[in-house]
Amino acid sequence: MTQQWHILGAGAIGSLWACHLVDAGFPVKLILHTQEKLDIFKQKNSILLADRAYPMTAELADATDTIDQLLITTKTVDTNAAFNSIQARINPGARLMVLQNGMGSQQWVQAQRPDTNVTWASTTDGAWLKAPFHLHHAGQGITHIGSPQQQCLPWITPLKNGFLTLEEDSDIRLTLWRKLAINCAINPLTALHRCKNGALINNPDYLSTMAAICREVELVAQASHIELFDGPLIEQACHVAEITAENYSSMLQDVQKGRQTEIDSITGYLCETAKSAGIPVPINLMLLNKIKQIQTT
């Protein structure tokens, strides 16, 4: 029998992956954080995507069944509490995949359970929830999966049978750093100025600040022995802002809805890394503090 996947974090990306895993032939069980969510789910016992219902099961964190395969897709601000709520259920040798924005939580999960096999993932797929457990796949992307120890991962092959595009990544740390760098350049500015991504390249003042952010990020990456891109980071950031010009960043959406942002795992991670390396990053530090102020007002 194909081994079950548990999914911790049934937001848009967690739900997308739940459907993908069902499509690939795996039994899936969502771990939900409230009885209310569980009651809603049990009305259909499935997630609806593109007029197709993907059947699966769900439970709360305090269920008693053990976990051998776990996909972690919680927002980074929720990772510690969510993971700790199920940690006693995770078997030694279990397979854990961390698929989140930013950096820091991947290393934290690994440190909590060195007796498990932890992999990291990064995706460019877009998705959003029309309603609870009713999903819209907004943009087809690629999910990169890799081991921080750069081990081969033959178990990824059966996962490719679903509708998402997956690639094994021999340098997942670089991939995550590249996404972190772009997020540092775009997300805090859009959240601060309450603008679409495209405004960053159309407003000279915003563009100037974005360039300053990129210069700081490049210094920190170099100190971490990371060569981000062949050309300057600002060129990549402008390209992403251009092709996603009409999009609202996830950080801006969080600010607009009064939710905690993932600033600590994006700009916060960069600032902590810079501090350890003795590199001043005043623009990123300013943005970190401003977004934190917005969150508390």
- 130 given a catalytic annotation: no
Q: Do you know the residue count of the chain?
A: 297
Torsion angle, alpha carbons of 231, 233, 239, 243, to 10: 140
Contact between 184 and 236 (Cβ < 8 Å)? no
Which amino acid does the sequence have at 2?
T
Distance between CA atoms of residues 241 and 155, nearest Å = 35
CB 31 within 8 A of CB 6: yes
- Rounded to whole angstroms, the Cα distance separating 199 from 189 reads 10
The one catalytic residue among 75, 130, 179, 292: 179
Q: Determine contact, residues 86/93, Cβ cutoff 8 Å.
A: no
- The tokens describing 293, both together, are 């102020």
Other CB atoms closer than 10 Å to residue 17's CB: what's the count?
27
The answer for residues whose C-beta is within 8 angstroms of residue 109's C-beta and 6 or more apart is 72, 79, 83, 96, 98, 118
Asked if 291 and 261 touch (Cβ cutoff 8 Å), the reply is yes
The structure tokens listed for 271 are 């600032």
**Residue 25, both tokens:** 């032939």
Q: Which residues are annotated as catalytic?
A: 179
